[in-house]
Chains A and B, each alone.
Chain A
Amino acid sequence: MGLNRSSLLKVLAWPIVGGLVLLATLPTAFADEEYDQDRAARWKQLQESLFPHRQVLDSGGIVSIDAPPRALDAALVPIELHISGSKPVKGVYLVIDDNPAPMAGHFVFGPKADPRELKLRVRVNAYTNIHAVVETQDGQLHAATKFVKAAGGCSAPAGSDDAAALADMGRMKLRLLGEFTADKPMQAQLMIRHPNFNGMQMNQITRFYTPPRFIRSIDATYDGAQVFHLDADISLSTDPVITFGFVPHAKGQMKVVAQDSSNAVFDHSFDVPGGTPGAAPAG
């Protein structure tokens, strides 16, 4: 019998996780999609706390989100962000409204980035809206929304993959997707072995929670020039996987530096082309 993580407890005791901004005073975890008004109110409150004194505009065709409407595994919900490229962008925020720490990640793009497509895997704790908020170079914020049905992803108990991730922590792979051509944008998939414990997995005999330990930041540079900087929080899945675009001017090296919440630093350099052998993306 499998562990069906998507059918789960809607009421959770959330322990305090060190170093997080827990928006404890806000209403959380609306369990039913009928609560559209409550969701809108929550997003309004989130905007005020995450982007104080700033106006968040609608997507304006600049950003969109793809996610499975009903996630198979709430601890691993694949999210795709599409950015049109019609206006130059500084970065993008990913907000999972009803997660205990809603700000899941903030990407800041560097000169070597191709920001048009980003993919990552996240934990989702309750039926929730997910927002992608793009910040353009001229300082405007544009938000896209997607509703995702998944529950229990944050507190789902550890699986055998968590043990494997812990044993192998810090190992990285970089897969280049597609052919290398100088000065042409290409996609790469970065994989980092890390259990990304979020502090919400309880050992039910000792009654202690497995202490949080998760990737806090990732820097990717190409021959010394920034591709992206990511500030992350507890919502990234075990073994974070991030697919991003970059523009290699010539054959060179992708350097990735990741730091976790225990201040462990993992860094690897990959030859481009080369690295870990990749393959053409699926049509």
Chain B
Amino acid sequence: MSPTSLSRRDVLLGACACCVSSIARGAASAAEQTLTTDEVATGIHIRHGVDEDATPANSGAIANIGFIIGKQAVAVMDPGGSLIDGQRLRATIRKVTKLPIRYVVMSHVHPDHIFGAGAFVDDKPQFVGHALLPNALAQRGEYYRVRLDQQLGKGQAGPVVAPTLLVKDKSEIDLGGRTLEITAHGTAHTDCDLSVLDRQTRTLLLSDLLFVKRVPSLDGSLKGWLAELAKLKTVAARRAVPGHGPTGVDWPEASRDLERYLATLQKETRAAIAKGVEIDQASRTVALSERDQWTLFDDYNGHNVTRAYKELEWD
């Protein structure tokens, strides 16, 4: 090895070691912070996510995430919107219980729900996902990771964690005296949505199958989402936990706004297609009556119309 390359290598190693250790120190203290959670039902703790897009200021903590404690184990749903969000969720769990974290439910592929999974790898839980989640992660995981790093700062996103326990239709998780029913849904919000029903308290954790106040985002099928929502409304639950919005809401009453939005999107997009209104024009005119009902409406509605249009024009 030439002296030049040797010294260059040394310099690089030195620089790396020192910045890694300072980052690690900073991350360790930030990760020890705990989250404020609501105990929406006995043993079900939910952190409210802010109605924003991911920024360095919010650390990607923009979705409702939380955990459920049984007699013998803990289940997480969802692990959070970044590695640090997941680390803080883990620190929060550890303040409440010493029980092992046996399951981490990843409700769907979107980064604001699952990038905290890296914080739980050392617990060696089962990472639970929809049967189609591995494919969705293969298509998008790395893309999301790079984009989240751009939004939050380099290295902040955390790794893409693959699910280890796949659900095709229905499955059950036993936390010791507490059984969770897991349902894999047909294409709705995305093509890989899971919901969880806690039998003991009749609490339905819906993640992004339910949006409250924050404008829904459509990344699966509009018709499929309406169909899944109709089925979910028949589930006898005392309360639901939406993916965005308040941490606990009445069920099925809290589905009303979402259903109205999706129905309006469907009706007005169909009308635009029938009249020959082009997709671009439709994205600026459809569902505007919903504008005052939701936060972040202008950031997402046009996209939702585009997706709805692409789906419905083939009817």
Contact = CB atoms under 8 A, between A and B. Distances in A.
Nearest to B160: A204
B279 A78 contact: yes
Interface stretch (B7-15, B69-77, B118-126, B136-144): B136-144
Contacts of B306: 72-73, 76
B280 A78 contact: yes
A204 B138 contact: yes
Given A1-B217, A279-B276, A282-B277, A160 B138 contact: no
B241 to A, nearest CB: 17
Interface core residue of A72, A168, A171 (most chain B CB under 10 Å)? A72
Given A72-B303, A160-B221, A282-B275, A1 B139 contact: no
B313 A157 contact: no
A121 to B, nearest CB: 7
A164 B134 CA distance: 18
Q: Chain A contact residues (Cβ within 8 angstroms of B): what range?
A: 35 or more
Contacts of A189: 276
Given A2-B304, A72-B283, A279-B275, A160 B134 contact: no
B303 A4 contact: yes
A115 B277 CA distance: 20
Contacts of B280: 68, 72, 78
B219 A160 contact: yes
Contact of B314 (A7, A193, A279): A193
Interface of A is mostly: loop
B303 A119 contact: no
Contacts of A1: 62-63, 110-113, 208, 217, 219
Contacts, number: 99
A236 B280 CA distance: 16
Contact of B278 (A119, A203, A205, A280): A119
Contacts of A171: 314
A4 B278 CA distance: 21
Interface core residue of B160, B276, B281 (most chain A CB under 10 Å)? B276
A101 interface: no
Given A160-B187, A160-B221, A278 B276 contact: yes
Contacts of B278: 78, 119, 282
Contacts of A46: none
A186 interface: no
A205 B275 contact: no
Nearest to A4: B303
Interface in A134-179: 156-161, 163-164, 168, 171, 173, 175, 177
Given A1-B62, A73-B303, 15 more contacts: A1-B217, A1-B219, A3-B140, A9-B146, A68-B280, A72-B302, A72-B303, A78-B280, A157-B140, A173-B314, A189-B276, A203-B139, A239-B314, A241-B313, A279-B276
Interface of B: 62-63, 110-113, 134, 137-143, 146-147, 160, 162, 187, 190-191, 208, 217-221, 274-281, 283, 300, 302-304, 306-307, 310-311, 313-314
